[in-house]
Structures are given as structure tokens and as C-alpha cells.
Amino acid sequence: MDSDFQVSCAQVRLYLLSQDKVPWVTLQYLISEVNYGGRVTDDKDVRLISAVLSQYFSASIFQDDFCFAGLADYRLPKEGTLEDVRAFVGALPIDEDPRIFGLHPNALITAQFNQARSFLETVVSVQPRISSGGSGKKPEDIVADMGEEFSKNIPDAVKVRPGVAHPETYKTIAGGGIVSIGVFHGQEYERLVKMIGVIKRSLTMLGKALKGIVLMSSDMEEMYNAFLQQKVPSNWQKVAYPCMKPLNSWVSDFICRIHFLTSWLTQGPPKSFWISAFFFPQGFMTAALQLHARKTKIPIDELDFHPRPSNEMDPENLKEAAQVGVNIHGLFLQGCGWHFSEKRLRESDQGVLFVGMPVIQLYPEMVAQIPKMILDNNLYRCPMYKTSERKGTLSTTGHSTNFVKYFALGQPEEDPNHWTTRGVALLCMLDD
């Protein structure tokens, strides 16, 4: 709000008049963490505000050759009259360079893509649903064909019964219980079976409604329109995981998830786990951490995973599972590139918006040691999200339901704020 800006200006003036030296740290904290950050509920947004303002609250701005983001067009105006300042402001570029906000030029591609997609979705939503003449298919025929194709391609759930599950999948531990990671698989597989049932039944009902056998209800009509617009129907979304993919890609991704969890059921735990396939990735990490806690007799609340990226892109090439912790794959980097040989972040290549990450070993470390490891190695605490939307509802943990956890990744010898303003994050899946 404008009142936040006015209060911040008053505080800057107050501190400059009352102290001999400029209190950079104090001003940075008051304005980014209190005035603006106090209105923000997501701690990732507070960190971004602080990173953006850090380039303004710095002694380097008094240097004669200083310019923001290293761009010659964005210098501070020299001391002069009000008319001189107005002339300076009037000479600033009309179209802002993404770099002035700390973003990579690729961010402009993302913004234009999102704008075009929003425009096309609006056009499609108001397009009349009329029957095609000549040789073109009618809308109801298109939907019927899609429904039949989906029903044929989506496999039925494998029933969990004696002799089907691999001995290692639901391996028992001392005391008669099931190993924690097996409990997690059971929960995920139960959600998957429910989801398959809802989708199969709705496809059957839609096919009957199109043939006139049953009444076309409001749910079936919404599903019909969603198919024509390549959107996931709302009755599917209610039982599904967060996903931004269009309908055909969504179904293909769903089939891959079925195969992965079914393979885990019948063939045992894989060498590397497809982290993107889970409804609740946080639960997987907790279950995997509990395995190490039971093995080492260390309380689980004193442990956390620290990522160790490998050079292997294809999990099928792994010779064995991780001896300590677990291997995961399926993540993507947005906002930067990845230096595979040095295993660290680097600037994005022009036009490359996403980079696939290699297999990552989640190695258990003591919670008390991780902050020191991050500081000593100058690591970037990279947030990990389920989708590129990066938003969800605020959960009881204080985090968004779309947020998974922070992964500390290697970076060049520079301020981690650079990657924060770049918007660097790990994503479990892409939108296409």
C-alpha cells in the first residue's frame, strides 16, 4: 500500500538525520522485513522482498560509476534541480529490462507466453459450440473419441492381494509393523486407486450421456466442455494432485504415475524414486528419513535431508540404490541453468526456460549442522514446488500447500540474493 511507502520514507529520513553513519542493516530490516514483509504471509516472498531491496540499501550506490543491475540506462540522477530530476526520469527506458528487477531476460519470454495463453483461454471459453459441417467432426464426436481413448489407455489398478506385492515393498520390521516407506506407498497407492475409479466411472457416464442413454447432468456438461478446451475436469481435480498440464498431457502423465507406483508395488522399491509422481512428496521424505532414524537410533527431529546431485540423468543407469538416504529424480530448475560437471547453479542459456536436474541423493544430516554447511559452502537455499504456479493454500505448517521444502544447492561465489531475485526454484513438473 502507499502508506507502507510513506512510512518507509519517513523512517529513512529519521535515521539519516539522527545518526552519523547510514544504518544500512537497520533500514534494510525495517523496510523489507517489517514494513512490507509484515504484510506478507509467505516467507519465500519476504525473502524476495529483502533480496530486491538489498541492491538499494548498499554503500555502493554512492560510487560515481554505480548503475542498477549493471545497466547503463539505470543510474542515479546527479544532484540538481527538480527539473533536472524530471528530465532524468523522462529519459528512462519506456520498456523495462527484466534485469533491472533481478530477472534473467528469459523472464520476458515467460511473461509473454503467460499473457498469450491467458488471451487464448479467454477466446476459447467464449467460442460457440456449433456442429461442424462437411467432413469435420462434431464436438460431441470429438469428446466421445477422447473419452474412449482415455478409457482404453488408462490401466486398471492392480489389486493389492497376497502374492502380488513384492516382499520388499511392504517389508515388516521388528514388532510386526510395516517399514515406513512401505506405509507411504500404501497411502499413495490408495489415493491412486481412488483416482482411477473416479476417472473410469466418469468416462463411462460421459459416454452414455453422449449417446442419450442417461441424462446429461451439470457435472457431465462441465466435463464435456473441459474436454473441448483441453482442460482437466473439476471432478477429476477434486481427487487428483496439483498439476498445470493440459488434458492430453495430464492423462499421459497420470498413466506414467500409475506405472511407477504399480512397478514399486510388484517389483519392490526402485533405485531412484520419481519424486514428481507422489501426491505428497513431503510424506515420502519423512518416511525415507525415518528409515535412517530407525537404523541409526537418531531421533528423526534431529535429522534432515541434504541434497547431493549426481552426474547421472537417467535413473535406469544406476547400478544400485543409495546406501545412505535415497535417490530421487524428476526435478526441473527454473530461473537458471545447471553446471553438470561442477554440480552448481549457473546463468540460464538464452531461450532455455527449464533445465532437467540429474539424479539427486538425499543424504541425512544433523539438523544443527546444515546451517553451517550452507554458510561455509555459500549454498543457495532453493525452494522446491509441486507446480510452476508456486502458490497454494496456507497449511498448518505455515507453508503453502504447493511448497515442498528447501534444497541447498551449490552456486558461484556471489550473493545468494542474486538467485532469489532470479526466481530460481525447483519444480516437480512442467506445464506441458
**Does 2-102 carry CATH code 1.20.1050.140?**
no
**CATH fold for domain 273-432:** Hypothetical upf0131 protein ytfp (3.10.490)
pLDDT of residue 329: 96
| Mean pLDDT, residues 364-390 taken together | 93
Q: Does residue 328 have a pLDDT over 90?
A: yes
C-alpha cell at 110: 515467460
C-alpha cell at 356: 532437467
Cβ neighbours, 10 Å, residue 361: 19
Angle at 130 between CA 127 and CA 135, to 5 degrees: 120
Q: Please report, in angstroms and rounded to a whole number, the separation of the first and last CA atoms in the chain.
A: 36
CA distance 199 to 191: 12
pLDDT of residue 397: 60
C-alpha cell at 341: 560437471
DSSP string, 163-179: TTS-TTTT-B-TTSPBP
Q: How many residues does the chain have?
A: 432
CA distance 331 to 356: 6
C-alpha cell at 246: 493440459
CA distance 189 to 263: 11
Mean pLDDT of the chain: 90
C-alpha cell at 33: 522485513
CA distance 43 to 376: 23
- Do the domains 2-102 and 273-432 sit in the same CATH topology, yes or no? no
Longest dimension (CA), the chain: 85
CA distance 277 to 265: 14
Band the pLDDT of 172: cuts 50, 70, 90: confident
Q: Does residue 40 have a pLDDT over 90?
A: no
| Mean pLDDT, residues 125-135 taken together | 59
- Residue pair 408/401 in contact (Cβ under 8 Å)? The answer is no
Half-sphere exposure at residue 331, Cβ-oriented, CA atoms within 13 angstroms: 31
Residue with cell 545497466: 71
pLDDT of residue 272: 96
- Residue pair 85/79 in contact (Cβ under 8 Å)? The answer is no
Q: 3-class DSSP state for residue 382? A: strand
- Residue pair 318/272 in contact (Cβ under 8 Å)? The answer is yes
pLDDT of residue 58: 86
pLDDT of residue 379: 94
Residue with cell 540404490: 321
**CATH fold for domain 105-126+137-269:** Substrate Binding Domain Of Dnak; Chain:A; Domain 2 (1.20.1270)
pLDDT of residue 38: 85
Q: What is the pTM of this model?
A: 0.89
Listed by start position, the domains of the chain span 2-102, 105-126+137-269, 273-432
Q: Does residue 112 have a pLDDT over 70?
A: yes
pLDDT of residue 320: 92
pLDDT of residue 424: 95
CA distance 377 to 369: 12
Residue with cell 470429438: 142
| Mean pLDDT, residues 157-185 taken together | 87
DSSP string, 273-315: EEGGG-S-HHHHHHHHHHHHHHHHT--GGGEEEEEEE-S---G
Band the pLDDT of 314: cuts 50, 70, 90: very high
Q: Does residue 130 have a pLDDT over 60?
A: no
Q: Does residue 222 have a pLDDT over 80?
A: yes
Candidates 413, 180, 406, 428; CA nearest to 307 is: 406
Band the pLDDT of 396: cuts 50, 70, 90: low
